[in-house]
């Protein structure tokens, strides 16, 4: 009798809203904890620990790793970590603005036209994703450099007399590679937001005498704000911690934060230093999402 009663209570609970939520979200919550929260917790913990000469973690909390990030002979703003962090912020910000600038007009056109044009453009935008990210990064490697495709073509056409330094890898090449990699995320986010706009509001504003600039600023941009914010997050966050593209297209000229962490861990097994450096990326991401949630809800970020 006791077992039957417990089974009935269990079935009754599963029929409630809380029970349905537990059944549907429970497994994903477990995987989220195992694959995200536990590694993140371990990284935060290790950032306060040291590694001895035998490469074992010494479980004695200290701030030594954080001190090493900004330590050195000169001021903290001349340390390799601070310079790499600022460079990463700059590259991520420029990539985000560039993706937004390029994607917004196209997303607006797709939202207004739709139909076959939408299918063709989306196919062309997503076509590179049928190849590995490594292959796409390597293709840009062939485009840049003194003897790369871009300089060779310009020399062949007589546009320039010698290879352009701006095309010789470095920050410009990294920004181009990251923009190409994350442009679809911005485009799809903007399209999801713009597609829900009632464009009769735009026509009404024009009829009432508003200029095109005023319509853009006062009508379109506020309505498209969720897509702008979500697209910016989808571009800025991965660009900040990018590793493969800077490794290929930087060619040793620049050192972004992802490369610095990989270099210290692989060469010195400085997992404490790497964890402490990674914490600045994690904090930046948390702050970015916190700012985003002040202006839009989770449903709006998802394009709902």
* DSSP calls for 184-209: HHHHHHHHHHHTTS-THHHHHHHHTT
CA–CA distances in Å: residue 291 to residues 94, 123, 215, 229: 19, 33, 26, 10
Distance in angstroms (rounded) separating the CA atoms of residues 99 and 96: 5
When the candidates are 3.90.1010.10, 3.40.30.10, 1.10.3720.10, 2.120.10.30, the CATH number that belongs to 51-301 is 1.10.3720.10
What's the number of CA atoms in the CB half-sphere (13 Å) around residue 98? 18
Q: What is residue 1's predicted lDDT score, i.e. its pLDDT? A: 47
Residue ranges of alpha helices (H) inside the chain are 2-15, 17-32, 38-46, 64-69, 80-113, 115-126, 133-143, 149-157, 171-194, 200-207, 212-215, 221-240, 244-250, 257-268, 271-295, 298-301
Token readout for 54 is 């035998």
Q: What letter does residue 77 receive in the DSSP assignment? A: G
Q: What letter does residue 105 receive in the DSSP assignment? A: H
Identify which of 298, 174, 136, 140 has the alpha carbon closest to the alpha carbon of residue 233. Answer: 298
Q: What is residue 104's predicted lDDT score, i.e. its pLDDT? A: 93
Per-residue pLDDT tens over the stretch 4-63: 565 555 666 556 766 666 767 778 878 877 888 888 899 999 999 988 877 788 888 888
CATH 1.10.3720.10 residue ranges in the chain?
Answer: 51-301
* DSSP calls for 230-272: HHHHHHHHHHHT--HHHHHHHTTS---HHHHHHHHHHHH--HH
Mean pLDDT by 10 residues, the chain (304 residues): 56 65 75 83 90 82 88 77 93 96 91 78 81 82 86 86 84 92 91 84 82 84 88 92 89 89 86 91 89 72 53
């Amino acid at each position: 009798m006791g077992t039957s009663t417990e089974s009935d209570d269990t079935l009754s609970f599963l029929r409630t809203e809380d029970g349905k939520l537990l059944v549907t979200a429970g497994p994903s919550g477990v995987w989220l904890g195992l694959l995200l929260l536990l590694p993140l917790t371990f990284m935060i913990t290790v950032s306060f620990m040291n590694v001895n000469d035998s490469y074992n973690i010494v479980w004695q909390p200290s701030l030594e790793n954080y001190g090493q990030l900004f330590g050195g002979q000169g001021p903290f703003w001349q340390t390799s970590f601070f310079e790499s962090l600022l460079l990463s912020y700059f590259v991520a910000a420029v990539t985000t603005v560039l993706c937004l600038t390029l994607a917004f007009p196209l997303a607006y056109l797709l939202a207004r036209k739709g139909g076959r044009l939408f299918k063709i453009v989306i196919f062309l935008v997503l076509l590179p994703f049928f190849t590995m990210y490594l292959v796409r990064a390597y293709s840009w490697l062939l485009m840049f450099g003194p003897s790369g495709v871009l300089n060779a073509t310009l020399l062949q056409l007589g546009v320039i007399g010698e290879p352009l330094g701006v095309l010789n890898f470095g920050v410009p090449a990294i920004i181009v590679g990251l923009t190409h990699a994350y442009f679809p995320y911005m485009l799809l986010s903007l399209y999801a937001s713009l597609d829900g706009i009632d464009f009769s509001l735009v026509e009404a504003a024009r009829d009432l005498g508003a200029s095109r600039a005023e319509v853009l600023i006062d009508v379109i941009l506020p309505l498209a704000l969720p897509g702008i914010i979500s697209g910016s997050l989808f571009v800025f966050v991965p660009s900040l911690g990018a590793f493969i593209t800077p490794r290929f297209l930087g060619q040793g000229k620049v050192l972004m934060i992802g490369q610095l962490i990989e270099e210290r861990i692989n060469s010195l097994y400085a997992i404490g230093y790497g964890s402490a450096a990674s914490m600045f990326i994690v904090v930046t991401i948390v702050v970015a999402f916190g700012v985003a949630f002040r202006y839009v809800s989770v449903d709006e970020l998802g394009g709902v």
